[in-house]
Amino acid sequence: MHLLSQILTPERTVCHAHGPSKKRLFETIAELVCANEPLLHYDNILNHLITREKLGSTGLGQGIAIPHCRVGNCTQPLGALLSLEKPIPFDAPDEQPVDLLFVLLVPEEARQQHLDILANIARLFNQQQFCGQLRAARDSCTLYEVACSGAD
């Protein structure tokens, strides 16, 4: 089974999301994640994402960012995938704006699992062909299908 299909759901996949700033985007992500996860709370998710981003940008370069954090009340790794309507500044090393984000939330105690999943996602999003297919998706359903099937 593909990594992304284990942690991503169609409900947490958004094509052409509106995100005029990092903060607004993190608000959208917190809403998205909490909508179907009753144990997770909006303020908690938002604060964790913002706090992690203050430690250093989660922008990888080439228009990709992988915001991630460990969260209490999170019982298993969760992912969210967003392509943006318009790229936004993200303080990436190459100074390019971000238009693709994969968000990773893991249980508070899952330190090594967090690092392992994060490394695998970073390798996947370093593949230009994969990212090109994600960027070509025109709706959320297609974006989800590409992410889960193209993640070989």
Residues belonging to the active site: 68
CA separation for the pair 66, 100 (Å, rounded): 9
What 3-state class would DSSP assign to 120? helix
Bridge partner residues of 130 (DSSP): none
Residue 22 and residue 89: Cα distance in Å, rounded? Answer: 8
| Neighbour-count burial of 54, counting CB atoms closer than 10 A to its CB (0-12 exposed, 13-18 middle, 19+ buried) | exposed
Question: By CB neighbour count within 10 A (0-12 exposed, 13-18 middle, 19+ buried), where does 53 fall?
Answer: buried
d(CA 93, CA 104): 20
**Structure-token match 């297919």, residue found:** 133
